[in-house]
Amino acid sequence: MPLPDPAAPGPPPAAATGTSAGPATPNVGPADETVRPDDTPRPSVQVPQAAPSPPTGPVPCTDAMIEVRAETGQPTYPSGARPELRLVVTNVSGQPCVRDLDGAQQEIAVWSGDGATKLWSSNDCSNPSSDDLRTLVPGQPVAFAVTWTGLASEPGCAGERTRVGPGGYRVLARLDRVVSDPAPLLMS
């Protein structure tokens, strides 16, 4: 319904309908109908900002929040023995965090003493994938151990598996992209 023309003769719109909502408004000229900014001073009210809510649980562990170490059960094993090798993950941040410690992302490897040749990997003949989502508490290590047969291996368990001889070796551990420093292993 179009708005009535205020300059047109006749009763105000409220009177035309037969109802009255109050006193009639006087006729106003076109200059009074111009929309203009309301510069009436008003008190300013500051709306308080809500504080950000704290996280509801542990945050995901970034690579920078964890440390990976390689360990051996003992520093020296007799030739032909089955050394125990460990991958140890520790949250080095100041807050609990969550990380998937999936077996497919873990690797323990034995390298030659000079670090030039990988002789064995826990993933060569077995690469178990399993969801293992854990909350890592700061400073509390989580360890995974494997008993190495002392036999060399290749990816896919291809080739002949021969026993490594006496000598000094390096053990490295990896969780996804985080790799440990080498741990010494002596086979006598």
Between 56 and 26, residue with greater pLDDT = 56
pLDDT tens for 36-60 read: 444 445 455 565 666 666 657 899 9
pTM, two decimals, is 0.69
Q: Which residues of 138-175 are buried (b: 16+ CB within 10 A; e: fewer)?
A: eeeebebebebbbebbeeeeeeeeeebeeeebbbbbbb
- Hey, which residues does 118 pair with through a beta bridge? 111
All structural domains of the chain, each given as residue ranges with its CATH number in brackets, are 59-187 (2.60.40.10)
